[in-house]
Amino acid sequence: MRKITKIHITVLFVLLAVFQSCKLESEMYDVINASIFPTTATDAAALVTGCTYNVLVSNGYSGIFTVASGGIITSAEYASDIAECQWRDREHVLYARWQTGNSYIGDGWGYTRYISSIALNIDRISQISMDENLKNKYIAELRCGRAFLSFLLYDYYGPIPLPDLETLKNPLLETILPRATEEEMQAFIETDLIEAAKVLPYSYKKGDSDYGRFTKGLCQMLLMKLYMYTKQWDKAEAAGREIMKPEYGYSLVPRYIDIFSLANEKNAETIYSSISKQGYAQHKWHPHCLPSDFPTDPPSVVKWGGNKLSWDFIHTFEAGDQRLETISTGYDGITGITHTEELDRANSSNQLYYGAIPLKYEIDKATTGEDNQIDLIIYRYADAITLLSEAIVRKGNVVTQEAVDLLNRVRTRAGLQAYTLSSFADTRDFLDKLLLERAHELYYEGSRRQDLIRDGSWVETMKNKARNMGQTTLVDENRQRFPLPQSVINEGKGIIKQNPGY
């Protein structure tokens, strides 16, 4: 478990002066005297925990990566072609019909307040008399966490307001700041990651007391994601090659199914995960995926149904793909009813009507209710090397042997025949096959929506998804980003602008 100090709720109040609803709130000096906190290394550790590690997690119904309602990864997967859901109150996300005020869309905006918290805490920690190496490490973790959160929000909503330190230190002015420009937002994220990477260790290994804290490897992965997002192929390639250096220690786990098991968590493929442990923090993967009559060991696992993989997506897998071992396409229910696509597609109330079950994570035998203690993976090495393969081809507009080899490392791990250069008619054919491979490899890990948008195929793909399900859609290029909550626009008094198309 990551070496992070748990802090009392009153300590969280000192994170303070947060940029909430685009208005600066005053510090709560009546709760904790700011003149005496923070003053020690222990105080610094508490601040780092409160505004970074307690945020970038999946802990029940909290944290930006929660697999429950409003989680940023789950919502992003809904807004792609691979995901379906038994709960039909999510149709507006599944078929790109969302508007301002819809649930699962504006829920992430509240995390913008932590960007301000982090800025204030960097300043506070810089003034503490403590070991300089530890101080620099904490500041680097804060900068990495700020960039991490900023990138997630940038992908979701576009640029956010970026308050400067002087403004944050004068909260009584109630200054309303505009959203950053695209260039400012990208530079802000890039700078934080580059500076943090200079200080943080390459990675942590299983058993390290600091496992779960931010690393140079995470910084490089986020830089790669940012460069792919902004189509800076040369920089993305450089970041990908950096991640492959032996100093980082990353490698593919031999068997796909083992990546998501309790015995093999914290493996060499994991670049960053949300640490889970009984009594500390656990996620709710299986209650949101397993039908109520799905057989489990132990039988006490809570099962509500919910998240599915669309049948259209399932049909794109090749026979023998070992990644299908983490997906249930049929089962004999504990009530004696047999469920298959053929049987359940007859009625929309049936368990498998909307799709197959994304088991992904092992059902932990210690589970007695809703929670799972297997670390929830956010980024892993397979993501990095397939992005590198894509960056190489997009940069030169030619399929190279190196790009094919990188793709094959993931493909052959899944038990499939390796591609050769002659397998691809042209670069477009290669990109189509690569993006499908990434979808098979990374389902419900939050990459598909980004992949399709980057490729320019998201709008048409979402139209096809809606059409195939007999649904209507409002999809257009404007919906590549989600709308800001209407309350933010109202309180922004014309300074905070809504995304186009809403």
pLDDT tens digit string along 344-396? Answer: 999 999 999 999 999 999 998 887 689 999 999 999 999 999 999 999 999 99
pLDDT tens digit string along 119-167? Answer: 999 999 999 999 999 999 999 999 999 999 999 999 999 999 999 999 9
- Say if 454 falls within a structural domain: yes
Place of tokens 């094919």: 404
pLDDT of 118 over the 70 cut: yes
pLDDT tens digit string along 275-326? Answer: 999 888 899 999 999 999 999 999 999 999 999 999 999 999 999 999 999 9
Residue 104: band (very low, low, confident or very high) from pLDDT cuts 50, 70, 90:
confident
The enclosing domain of 388 has a CATH number of 1.25.40.900
Residues 6+ apart with CB under 8 A from 249: 202, 203, 205, 268
- Say if 369 falls within a structural domain: no
10 Å Cβ neighbour count for 481? 18
Q: Can you give the three-state secondary structure of 363-388, one letter per residue?
A: CCCCCCCCCECCCEEEEEHHHHHHHH
How many independent structural domains does the chain possess? 1
Residues 6+ apart with CB under 8 A from 433: 407, 419, 423, 424
Residue 4: band (very low, low, confident or very high) from pLDDT cuts 50, 70, 90:
very low
pLDDT of residue 172: 80
Residues 6+ apart with CB under 8 A from 96: 79, 462, 466, 473, 474, 475, 479
Q: Can you give the three-state secondary structure of 150-179, one letter per residue?
A: HHHHHHHHCCCCCCCHHHHCCHHHCCCCCC
Please state, in angstroms and rounded to a whole number, the distance separating the CA atoms of residues 396 and 392. 6
- Say if 331 falls within a structural domain: no
497: Cα within 13 Å, side-chain hemisphere: 9
- Say if 161 falls within a structural domain: no
Burial class (CB in 10 A: 0-12, 13-18, 19+), 7: middle
**At 59, which amino acid appears?**
N
Mean pLDDT for the stretch of residues 21-42: 58
10 Å Cβ neighbour count for 476? 13
- Say if 448 falls within a structural domain: yes
Please state, in angstroms and rounded to a whole number, the distance separating the CA atoms of residues 402 and 380. 20
pTM above 0.75, yes or no: yes
What length is written for the chain?
502
Average pLDDT, the chain: 92
Measured CA to CA in angstroms, residue 399 lies from 227, 239, 242, 430 at distances of 20, 20, 21, 7
